[in-house]
Amino acid sequence: MAKKALIVYGTRYGATQSTSEEIAKVLQGEGLEIKVVNAKKEKVKDIAPYDLVIVGSGMQMGKWTGEPETFLKQFQKELGNKQVAIFVSSAAQALIEYEKKTEEIENNRKQYLEQKAAKYNLHPISMVILGGVWDFNKMNLLLRKTLASFKPRIEAAGFKEIEPGLYDTRDWNAIRTWAKELATRAG
């Protein structure tokens, strides 16, 4: 019987949704049965049927989206008895990796992943920070002005606008590789 996996995610601009869908596609190809839930649109009532629970969140200004955080809090006890994996989508992470800001990369891993896992007493089989999207069209005015100074750095790193105001920093091969490794670990 195929292992069952649940992917629960929260997103602001859609990057975490399409990343979750790609992870699901890879895991299905590896023989897992997958359910993908946008935590903003659907509430998970029970995680008992799942062998593996993957929680993903978009990042903005160092903060997770609220819905995946609520999910972790709600199912904290049950998740302790499950295989768990955590990922975050962060456009800024791809930029600091390109700029080789080692200390900032490590600080983000601690803050976005390790501290989140510790807060809910989780012991994930895998945690990763993946690229994300900057969508200046969907940002509020204050955030857009704050992040405007990033545009030259984004472009210098080789990330081009895929449409006006939209920069995608995801490495799809890295996402697929992580998902395949996750399937192997969940074995």
pLDDT band at 60 (very low <50, low <70, confident <90, very high): confident
Cα 28 to Cα 119: distance, rounded to the nearest angstrom = 30
Over residues 24-46, the mean pLDDT reads 97
Domain coordinates of the chain in residue numbers?
4-132+171-186
For residue 19, count CB atoms less than 10 angstroms from its CB and return exposed for 0-12, middle for 13-18, buried for 19 or more: buried
CATH architecture of the domain with residue range 4-132+171-186? 3-Layer(aba) Sandwich (3.40)
Residue 93: phi and psi, rounded to 5, are -60, -45
pLDDT 10s digits, 86-144: 999 998 888 898 889 999 999 999 999 999 999 999 999 999 999 999 899 988 898 88
Average pLDDT, the chain: 93
Query: Looking up tokens 């992943």, which residue turns up?
Result: 113
